[in-house]
Amino acid sequence: MKKKSIVRQAKERLWSMAAWGQSKHDDKSRNNGKPAMDKIYSHSTMDNYVDAAVLFVKWARAEHGCKTLEDARQLTGEYLNQRVRDGKSAYTVRRDAAALGKLYQIATTDLGADLPARERKNVTQHRQDKSRGHFSEKKNADLVALCKATGLRRHEVAALQPGDVTQNADGSVSVHVRQGKGGKARTVTALDDSPYRLAQKAVQEGRGTVIAHIPKYAPVHEYRADFAMELYRRLARPLEDLPQRERYVCRKDRAGTQYDRAAMKAVSVQLGHNRVDVVTHYLE
């Protein structure tokens, strides 16, 4: 029987960890705050990890003649350090490390590389880059309005159905996200009523989703940041009125910058995160 290529080995090992619909939160609560090592909970994470693992094993095969995953295991550190020298961002290198850690079921600290620190100023994921392609906000006004009003991720926008949007008795609009990051559901309170108006428009046009199409170069993550900043602005209390324990003090490249901790927590929940510090990546 023909042996599987190293690329196929990598794909099948990761595919075997698919845990669609399973609760990452429940696994973390049973494992001292850490998700299961042998599970991948979302389709997007699976796609990212498979892409990263395939790049690694192709490199190992081309540079060192590796034919099995075990042959390539000792090369993880060399590969990640090479990615750093090639100018890959800290976020990309750490994503690669996470994929390889999952592939070999080990902690990223055991991969043999000095992983670069992730700093806010180096974030590039989903930021608009005019050299890569054009996006017209005028032609995609509905998409822009929905994203800025809700802060949804790209896959959350794509899956949003008219029935997921409700106008409440007080006039506010609630948007139910059925499957966010890690498979978790949440309800977002929109900044305005545009999601409800767009949902009604979709019903009138007979569409199953609120937004019919998301262009490739749509800077959804930028609009997510716009939502976070506006929501924080609305919720934040004057810092001079807050005791120190109710303030969040930034470190690293934003050392000394302070925010209202309670407002940050509220923004984090709306974005579908668990940690307050993540919000600093969205705030100016």
| CA–CA dist 31, 18 (Å, integer) | 19
For the chain, how big is the Rg over CA atoms in Å? 21
150 and 113: one domain?
no
End-to-end C-alpha distance for the chain, whole angstroms: 58
Burial of 154 (0-12, 13-18, 19+ CB in 10 A): middle
Tell me the three state secondary structure of residue 145.
Answer: helix
Task: Average the pLDDT over 219-243 and give the result.
Answer: 92
The answer to whether 94 touches 116, Cβ cutoff 8 Å, is: yes
18-22, 99-103, 161-165, 220-224: range with lowest mean pLDDT: 18-22
> Looking at residue 1, what is its pLDDT?
61
| CA–CA dist 108, 100 (Å, integer) | 8
Residue 123 within a domain: no
Residue 91 within a domain: yes
| Model confidence at 131: pLDDT above 50 | no
79 and 197: one domain?
no
Q: How many domains does the chain have?
A: 2
> Looking at residue 48, what is its pLDDT?
87
Residue 124 within a domain: no
pTM of the model: 0.59
113 and 145: one domain?
no
Question: Is residue 173 within a helix (H) or strand (E), and if so which, with residue range?
Answer: strand 173-177
At residue 129 the predicted structure's pLDDT band, cuts being 50, 70 and 90, is: very low
29 and 113: one domain?
yes
| CA–CA dist 232, 128 (Å, integer) | 22
> Looking at residue 173, what is its pLDDT?
97
The answer to whether 210 touches 146, Cβ cutoff 8 Å, is: yes
Q: Which residue has the higher pLDDT, 283 or 133?
A: 283
| CA–CA dist 19, 32 (Å, integer) | 19
Q: Whole domain around residue 42: which residue ranges?
A: 6-118
Average pLDDT along the chain:
88
> Looking at residue 133, what is its pLDDT?
63
Last residue of one domain, picked from the residues 103, 118, 133: 118
Residue 194 within a domain: yes
| Model confidence at 51: pLDDT above 60 | yes
152 and 113: one domain?
no
Task: Average the pLDDT over 137-160 and give the result.
Answer: 95
93 and 191: one domain?
no
> Looking at residue 236, what is its pLDDT?
93
- Looking up residue 262, the CATH number of its domain turns out to be 1.10.443
114 and 147: one domain?
no
41-55, 221-235, 244-258: range with lowest mean pLDDT: 244-258
185 and 112: one domain?
no
105 and 174: one domain?
no
> Looking at residue 62, what is its pLDDT?
93
Residue 132 within a domain: no
pLDDT in tens, 166-191: 999 999 999 999 988 878 899 999 99
> Looking at residue 279, what is its pLDDT?
85
At residue 118 the predicted structure's pLDDT band, cuts being 50, 70 and 90, is: low
| CA–CA dist 199, 196 (Å, integer) | 5
148 and 239: one domain?
yes
For the record, the structure tokens of 205 come out as 């046009």
> Looking at residue 120, what is its pLDDT?
53
167 and 273: one domain?
yes
Report the 10 Å Cβ neighbour count for 75.
20
Alpha helices in 205-260 (DSSP H): 220-235
| Model confidence at 41: pLDDT above 90 | no
157 and 245: one domain?
yes
